[in-house]
Amino acid sequence: MLIVQAQDSADAATLLALLEQRAPRPLSIPEIARLLNLEHYNHKAMRAALEAGVMERNLRRIGKTRYQWIRDVERVSRTETKRARKTGRSAARTIEGRYTRVRAGFGFVEVLGRQADQFARDILIPASMEGAALHGDRVAVEIVRRDARVRRVVGRIVSVLERAHEQIIGTLELHGRHWRIVPDNDLLPPVDLIGDVQLDRDNHGLTARARLTRAATPTRPVGGELVEVLGAADDPEVQFLSIAYEHGLRTEFPPEVVAEATRLPPDPSASDFTGRDDLRALPFVTIDGETARDFDDAICLEARRSGYHLWVAIADVSHYVQPGSALDDEAGRRGTSVYFPNRAIPMLPPQLSSELCSLNPQRDRLVLVAELSYDRDAHRTDERFYRAVISSRARLTYTKVAAVLSTTDTAEIRASRNELGPLLSQLHRMHELMLKLYRNRIRGGSLDLDLPEALIDLSEQGRSIGVRLFHRNDAHRIVEEFMLEANCAVAAHLRDQRIPLPYRIHEPPDPDDIDELNQFLGPFGLAVEYRGGPEPSDVQRLLTRLQGHPLARVLTRQVLRALTQAQYSTRNAGHFGLAFPVYCHFTSPIRRYPDLLVHRQLGHLFDLASDRARADAEALEAAAVHSSQREREAMEAERAMLDLKKAEFMLDHLLEQEAGTIVSVTNFGFFVELDAYPIEGLVRLGDLTDDRYTFIERERALKGMRKGHRFRLGDRVLVEAINVDLRRREIDLALLERLATRVATTATDSPRRGKRSPNRARKRRA
C-alpha cells in the first residue's frame, strides 16, 4: 500500500475511503487535507497517491486539481467496450428512451414504450458514454453489458432522437470578453453565446434565454444565440418563465391554435344537441377548489329503493377538438395542464378550458356521461355510457361542501345550508355513498395514501408569504371516489368491447425494491411482509401500522419511492396502487390528453365505428408514451416551483431558530423538516465541525469518528436558515443543538424477505 510521506498525513486507503464517502462531490487536495484534519501534509506525495487511484480506475480526475470517486455502478470495462465494438454490437438493435443525467456525471435512460417490459430498471449510462445527449433528450441506446451484481443494464447513447431543450434559460456570466449562460438546471451544461452578442456588464447575473444552435463536441462546448434578457431571478414573472422553459413547457398558443379557438361559439347551439340525451332537468353540481376556472366534471345522485343511481358527466371536449386540427396537435404536444401556486398553463386555450367546455353553472354544456347503478352496499350493478347535454345547478367548492356536511353549526354554515336548498340532501347522499365506496375500495386492497401537501400563500405581487399543509376533506373524497368509479367503469367497458385505449397502469413494484425499502424500515421495526410477489394488501398493512407514527409522512414517502410510477399504455397491466384490474383516465379531458383519447374511442363505439377505433392502436401507443413523458415534466415543474416558493419564503426567516426533525440522511449531510412550516433544508456535512462524520449506509446515519455521536432519521434538532439560493431552490441550515428525540429507532432482526416466484415477470422501475 502506498503511504503518503508526511507528518499527520494519511495513506492511500484513507484517501480513497474519504472520496468514496463524499461521492459524487469532487475534492481538491487542500479540501481532502482539511476533511482529514491534516495540518501538515506532503502535497506531492498525496497527489501521487490520488493519481495511482486514477490509474487503478478507482478515481477520476476532474480538471487538473480535483478528484472524484468512481462508483461501482459507473465502472464499465474498456475491454468489454472494445469487445462490443469488435463483435458488432454497435450495429445491433437500439433501444429508445429518455436520458436523465445526475450531478455525479453519469446518467440513466428510462426505456419507453413496449421495450420497457424487457428492463427491470433504467439503463445506466456511465460518464463519457452520453455522446451528444443532454438531460431530458429522447435517445437511442445500445447495450454494452449487463451487470447482475447491481441489477443494472449498462448502455451507451448512440444518437439523439429528439431534443428536450430547444432553448436554455439561466444566468448571464461574462468571462473575459465572452458571454455564456449557466442554466438554472445544473444538469445542463453552460452555453457559450455565439453570434452578435450586444450586452453590457450590467447584464451580468441577470436571467436570460438562449436558443441552442451548436451541439457540444469533445473540444467545443454547447453554443447558442441569445434570445432575450428576462430580468432578475427574484422577479415572479422571471421565476415562472425560468421554470417553464427549463421543463420545456409551452407558455403561448401558436396563432393557428388561437384562430381555431376564436372561431368557436361561446355556447353550444341547439343543433349540437341532436342525438344526445337531455339531462338538463337533473340537479348536477360541480365541486372544485376556490380558484379553479376549468370544470371538467359534474355529478348527480339519486337514492333509490334498490340503492344509488349516479351520473358522472364529463365535458365533451372531443366534440370541439377534432383529430388533425391545430387545437388537437397543440393539446397532444402539451399532454397536460400545469398548475403553479398563482397560475396555470392550460392544455387548451381559455376559450375552451374556461368557457365552452367548462361546466359552468346555469350554462348548457355538451358532456359524455357514465351512468352507474349501485346496490345498498355500494357494489356496482349496472352502467351505461352516452352523449348528453346538461346544465349545472351550482358551482360548489370543497371548503363549502365540507362545511355544510360537518356537524359544526354556525350562523355562516346555517346560511350556506339554507342557500343550497334541495341540493343539501343530495350532498348528504353523496357523502353516504362515498363512505361505502371508500370502504369497499380499501377492503379490495387499494392503498390509502392520503398525504397532506404544502400550500403556498402569495402576495398580490406573487411573492411567497406563507407555507402551510393542505389536508383533503370529505368533499375532496366525494369527487375522488366518483371519478375513480367512472374511470374504472369506462376502462372495463372499452376493454370488453376490444377497443384499444390508453390505460392508466401502475405496475407492481420489483421485489428487490421492496427488499431495499425493508432494509430502510428495519431500524423502526417495520417491513412490507410478502410472499411470492408484493401485493397491494401487503403494502397497505404497513401503511396502517404507520398511522399515528411520529414519522408517518417521512416513512410513507419512502414507501411511495419504492413503488413504480403510474403511466399510460395501450397494454393493460392493471393499477397496483388502486388494486384495480383495469383502469383509465376519462374524467379530465380539459387538462389531460389521454382522457380526450378515451373520449374519442367511446365516441367511435357510439357511432358504431369499432373498426376505426381499432385502427388507431399504434397512434394511441405513441400518444400514451408522449403523455407519460409530459406528465412527468409537468410534475417536475410543479415541484420546482414549490421548492422555489419555499426558498423565497425563507428569505424573510434567515437566522430564526426553528425546531425540526431529520427526514433524510445522505453522504453529504442531512435534511431537516421544520416544525413551523412544511419546509426542508440541508445541514451540510462540511458544516458539522464538532467531529469528523462518515455516512453509515446500512444505518442511514452520520456517525462521528471520534465521539461516536450519530445523526439519524427522526432525530430532533434546533436549526436556523443561513443561506437561500433561489436559482438552485435550496435552503442551507446550520445546526444549533440536538433536541430530545421523540422517535426512537430500535435494533431489530433483518426484516422478512418475501419468497419470490421463479417465473416472476421483470417490472420496470419508474
Block residue for cell numbers 436523465? 100
Q: CA torsion angle for 115, 121, 126, 129 (degrees, to 10)?
A: 10
Asked if 60 and 71 touch (Cβ cutoff 8 Å), the reply is: no
CA distances 71 to 19, 24, 126, 687, Å, are 10, 8, 10, 24
Block residue for cell numbers 376533506? 473
Same fold, 74-162 and 167-246: yes
SS (H, E, C) 547-589: CCCCCHHHHHHHHHHHCCCCEEECCCCCECCCCECCCECCCCC
pLDDT at 593: 98
Q: Concatenated DSSP letters for 346-373?
A: -SS-HIIIIIISS--TTSEEEEEEEEEE
Q: How many helices (H) and strands (E) does the chain have?
A: 18, 34
pLDDT at 149: 59
Phi, psi angles (nearest 5°) of residue 656? -90, 130
- Residue ranges per structural domain of the chain: 12-70, 74-162, 167-246, 255-451+466-503+579-641, 647-738
Phi, psi angles (nearest 5°) of residue 296? -75, -35
DSSP 3-state assignment of 411?
Answer: helix
Phi, psi angles (nearest 5°) of residue 261? -65, -40
**558 vs 180: CA distance, rounded Å:** 39
- Please state the pTM of the whole predicted model: 0.81
Cell digits for 384? 351505461
CATH of 167-246, one of 3.30.530.20, 2.40.50.700, 1.10.1370.30, 2.40.50.140: 2.40.50.700
CA distances 144 to 83, 86, 152, 161, 195, Å, are 9, 12, 11, 19, 39
Mean per-residue pLDDT pooled into runs of 10, the chain (766 residues): 40 76 71 78 83 78 73 44 45 79 88 74 87 89 76 87 86 90 87 89 92 83 91 92 89 96 95 96 96 93 96 98 96 96 94 96 97 97 98 96 94 94 96 97 88 89 92 94 98 97 94 88 89 89 89 88 92 95 97 98 96 92 93 94 96 96 93 95 93 86 90 94 93 94 47 35 32
Which of the 8 DSSP states describes residue 123? E
SS (H, E, C) 248-294: CCCCCCCHHHHHHHHCCCCCCCHHHHCCCEECCCCCCEEEECCCCCC
Cell digits for 391? 346544465
From the list 589, 591, 595, the residue with the least C-alpha distance to 568 is 595
Level-2 CATH architecture, domain 647-738: Beta Barrel (2.40)
Question: Which conformational region is residue 729 in: left (phi greater than 0), alpha (psi within -120 to 50 degrees), or beta?
Answer: left
CATH of 12-70, one of 3.40.640.10, 3.50.50.60, 1.10.10.10, 1.10.150.650: 1.10.10.10
Residue 345 CB contacts under 8 Å (≥ 6 apart), including other chains:
244, 249, 250, 251, 334, 337, 338
What is the fold of 74-162?
OB fold (Dihydrolipoamide Acetyltransferase, E2P) (2.40.50)
